[in-house]
Each structure stands twice: as structure tokens, then as C-alpha cells.
Structure 1
Amino acid sequence: MKNFRQQQQSRPKKSSLVIGREAVINALKTGKQLERIYLQQTLGAAAAGDIVKLAQQHNVPINKVPVEKLNGFNIQNHEGCVAVISKIQYQDLQQVISFIVDKGQTPLFVILDGVTDIRNIGAIARTAYCCGVQAIIIPDKGVGALNEDAITTSAGALEKIAVCRVNSLMKAVDELHLNGIKVFVSEMTASSRVFELDFTEPCAVVMGSEDKGVTPALMKICDQNFNIPMAGNFESLNVSVATGMILYEVMKQRL
């Protein structure tokens, strides 16, 4: 099933914006959590260089946009640069893993690869929290913004579950492997079925977009792929529904 039409997102409040190049640079240097940075397409390398470098260091996505997008924030003196303050406090993946293990819990993570619809992300977060997932791992590019709309859709779960934003899902999987965490990937053509896997061990589940699925390179380094059997011949399940079905199987095994 293809993604349903993108939801109309509300304009961020002015209080949630960092306006102007120097203000954004200062926010990055002082460790302020930023959801996304919007840079004017025509901004030269000299003007944007420090912002791009710092954003990469802090895994903050950058969108290069026409000036009309920036003007649409209904602000003045933006200097071709506006950042949105994050509603989510992103956490370091290794620190989250260590915290969970130190508590004597069995790690359970969800990795989102290319899931862009904020309603799907919100629904996944809500189900994940209810099923005992300790963290959601997302890339800094190619994922829907975890904004106020996403938090509302998640019924607040995105503010209760750890979210780790990484600059590479490939590196994140390597880090999970180094910590003894297996990575399973949902894939329609897999031979193994979801209820045949052992989810009682430390593990993470990768969910891909409904149109493209999981990136082939990422799928290649995962430990095992599986499918959700369906009675009818249909293209695929909605990603948030599929995630819920998988996580219920995980919770059933762990209970």
C-alpha cells in the first residue's frame, strides 16, 4: 500500500524558531536541540559553511529551500537561515544501550528507514511505547520531522520513549551488533515468518517505507529478515499497522 497523502503540517510557532545565521550557529555550539535547519538555496558556501559543518557534527538535518519557504514562517531578518527547535530530546545510542543493560532489561529497539509520514511515525511510537520498546532509532535524513503534529499523533509517546537520531543507520546497526543486539528486518519476500523468530533476546526491528521498503545495503547487514503472513494477495500492510503486529508478537514472547 502506498503512503496516504501527506498531512498538512501546521506552521511552527515563532517561539520554536531560531532566526538568522549567527543565532543558529550559537544554538548549535551551545548544544540546543534542533529538529531541522532550513537554508536558502542561494546562500553561498562562505555564509553557510559553519552552519553545515556544525549541523553535521550534531546530526541535525539541513533542508535547502527557496526563499519563499523561509518567508512562509512569517518572520523578518532571517538572513537565509531558520532552525526549528526540537520538541524531542534526542539521545546518544550507546548511552541508551548502556542505561538499559545496566537496569537489567533486555534491549528492544525499532529502527525507521525512510518512513516519512508523520502520522505513521506517531502511530509507531505510540505502539512501541505500549509494547515495551525502549528506543526508536532514526536517521538524520530521509525521515519525517518529529514535530508537534507527530507528537500529537503519538498521543505523547514520542516524549516518553527514547529517540536516537544518527547520521548513518548502517553505523547504528554496527553499534547494536557490537553490543550483542541482533537486528531483524521486516521484508515481504522473506522465507521466515514473524512468529518463527526468537524475540526474547536483545534485538532491534527495522521497518522500511511502504513504497521502497528497507534500503538494500541496510538489509544486507541485518541478522535475519522475516515476513508477516497475509491471507490475501495484497501489496503490503501499512507500516504502522505492520509494526504493531510485529511488536505484539515480541511482547507476547517476552511475557
Structure 2
Amino acid sequence: MKKSSLIIGRQPLIEAFESGKAIDKIFMYKNINGENIQHIRQLAKDNHVPVQMVPVEKLNSFTRANHQGIVAIAAVVQYTELQQVIDHIVSKGGHPLFMMLDGVTDVRNIGAIARTAVCCGAQGIIIPDKGVGALNEETMKSSAGALEMVHISRVSSLAHAVDTLHLNGISVMGAEMKADQKVYEMDFKQPCCIIMGSEEKGIQRFLSKAADAHFAIPIAGSFDSYNVSVAAGIILYEAMKQRIPHPLSLSTQ
């Protein structure tokens, strides 16, 4: 990990939050107490930044400096609140097209999805603050810089994100292997968000139940499944193909 990506100590972390710097994760000594700790916890909660309680040896492995029981990792991307993204897209006359990543942990897959999202006109990617691969330098490299060209919304609850999408008239569609409808039967011209689950577990049940529709990608023969980034590419290409005659639908940044 690059030392420049570390934020070491309590006051430097507070100042990073107050300056609007995006934080990817906070590592905190498991027996920490004292000045500013509750304030830091509240800042982390307000900004949907995960906090991991760790032994002091973990913190010492990051730095030899006086870390005061806290080391944070600065994010390589700037996160944007979901409602702000929706408002921005709509104000420019665009039809929202989002990807929601549920349990996708491989950073190379996340980077590849971001790259395809930009190429196919998707404007935003929604990720949870826990249970997803870190958006670090490796992810940025895998995305070929696309993570800086698409809106990233990190949320504390994917269920609440679905509620926000619904309140804004955005349909939520789940990509699932056993769905009856096929990807080419879906209407991606409408404002929509596509949920992609992990290759091992798929979409969590509560998200599947909250989705407005479900669809599958046909597979020739009896092979198990597509790689998640490949599946995302197939879906996003279908969405772009449907939206091509409607230039406003591809309006983005």
C-alpha cells in the first residue's frame, strides 16, 4: 500500500473528513478510548465509511509513526450521494442507468465493470460500505481510469438505496441465473438499476425480493455461469443497444 494513501492519527483523520476527502476504510485499535473517538465514529457513520477494530499489531504494520490507535485509507475515487447523482442526471435530461454491486469482492471485476459501464453509457455504480472489494489503486488500474468517469455512490444499506431508486421512478432489475425472462426481453430504455450479485451466492434474498423484475443471460450447454464482469458487459451492451436511438438516454456526466 502506498504511504501517500494512509491517513495516520486522530486529528489528521478529522481534518480529512472536514475537507471532504473520501475515506475508503478506517482501522481502529480494538481497545481505543479517549479524545475525539466518538466524534470520529460519528463522522465515519455519516460518511458511510466502514470501521474495522483491529489489534495494535495491525496498525503497526501500516506505519511506524505515532498512529494514536487509528489508521485510515484514503479513497482513490470521490463518492457521491445517490440522490445527488440522480438529480444531476435528470437535470441534464438523461435517463438513469445504474449498476448495483452486491457482494462483488474481486477488485479486478469491479474495475472491469466500471470500464464497461462508462463505455456503455451507465452513469453510476452503487456499492455497499461493507462486503465489496476496495476501490483501491488496483481497482483503478483494472478500470483503466473509468472509476474517475462514473459516479460512485457508497451506501450503508443497499435496501435503502433501492427505496431511493424507487422513490425517483427508477426500476430495479436483478440479474439471476434461474429467472424466466431473458436479458434481451427487458426494457432498459426506462430509468433503471441493474443488480449484480457475487458469482458464488448471487443476489441477497432481500434485494431479490425488492427488485421489480428478474432476468437471466442465456448460456449454451450446461456450463455453470458467466464471470460477473463478463455478465455485466453483456447486460450493459444490451442496454446501450436499446438506448442508441435515444441519445438523451446516454447523457451522463
The answer to whether structure 1 residue 213 and structure 2 residue 229 are counterparts is no
Deviation at 1:44, TM superposition (A): 4.5
TM alignment of 1:177-188, pairs within 5 A: 177-188=166-177
1:150-199 deviation per Cα after TM superposition (whole angstroms, max 9, x unaligned): 00010000011110111111111111111111010001111111111111
Match of 1:8 in 2: none
Name the aligned partner's letter for residue 24 of structure 1.
Answer: L
- The SS at the match of 1:64 is strand
Match of 1:33 in 2: 22
- The SS at the match of 2:101 is strand
Match of 2:91 in 1: 102
Match of 2:186 in 1: 197
Cα distance in structure 2, aligned partners of 1:72 and 1:210: 32
Cα distance in structure 1, aligned partners of 2:24 and 2:58: 16
Cα distance in structure 2, aligned partners of 1:59 and 1:159: 19
Unaligned runs of 5+ in 1: 1-10
Name the aligned partner's letter for residue 151 of structure 1.
Answer: M
Deviation at 1:40, TM superposition (A): 2.0
Deviation at 1:71, TM superposition (A): 1.6
1:106-137 deviation per Cα after TM superposition (whole angstroms, max 9, x unaligned): 11000001111100100100011100000101
Cα distance in structure 2, aligned partners of 1:235 and 1:41: 42
Range moving further from structure 2, 95-104 or 70-79:
70-79
Match of 1:162 in 2: 151
Cα distance in structure 2, aligned partners of 1:48 and 1:166: 22
Range moving further from structure 2, 14-23 or 36-45:
36-45
Cα distance in structure 2, aligned partners of 1:200 and 1:148: 33
- The SS at the match of 2:221 is coil
Name the aligned partner's letter for residue 86 of structure 2.
Answer: I
Name the aligned partner's letter for residue 212 of structure 2.
Answer: D
1:26-56 deviation per Cα after TM superposition (whole angstroms, max 9, x unaligned): 3224432111111123324887433222201
Match of 1:144 in 2: 133
Match of 2:49 in 1: 60
1:61-120 deviation per Cα after TM superposition (whole angstroms, max 9, x unaligned): 112223232222233111221011111111111111111111111110000011111001
Match of 1:4 in 2: none
Cα distance in structure 2, aligned partners of 1:187 and 1:144: 21
Inter-CA distance 98–47: structure 2 relative to 1 (3 Å threshold): closer
- The SS at the match of 1:165 is strand
1:16 aligned residue (5, 12, 20): 5
The answer to whether structure 1 residue 88 and structure 2 residue 77 are counterparts is yes
Range moving further from structure 2, 101-110 or 19-28:
19-28
1:226 aligned residue (210, 215, 231): 215
Cα distance in structure 2, aligned partners of 1:243 and 1:68: 39
- The SS at the match of 2:62 is coil
Name the aligned partner's letter for residue 216 of structure 2.
Answer: N
Cα distance in structure 1, aligned partners of 2:35 and 2:222: 55
Indicate the percent of aligned positions where both proteins have the same amino acid. Answer: 56
The answer to whether structure 1 residue 250 and structure 2 residue 249 are counterparts is no
TM alignment of 1:66-81, pairs within 5 A: 66-81=55-70
TM-score, normalised with respect to structure 1? 0.91
Inter-CA distance 231–55: structure 2 relative to 1 (3 Å threshold): same
Name the aligned partner's letter for residue 147 of structure 2.
Answer: L
Name the aligned partner's letter for residue 206 of structure 1.
Answer: I
Cα distance in structure 2, aligned partners of 1:219 and 1:63: 28
TM-score, normalised with respect to structure 2? 0.92
Match of 2:248 in 1: none
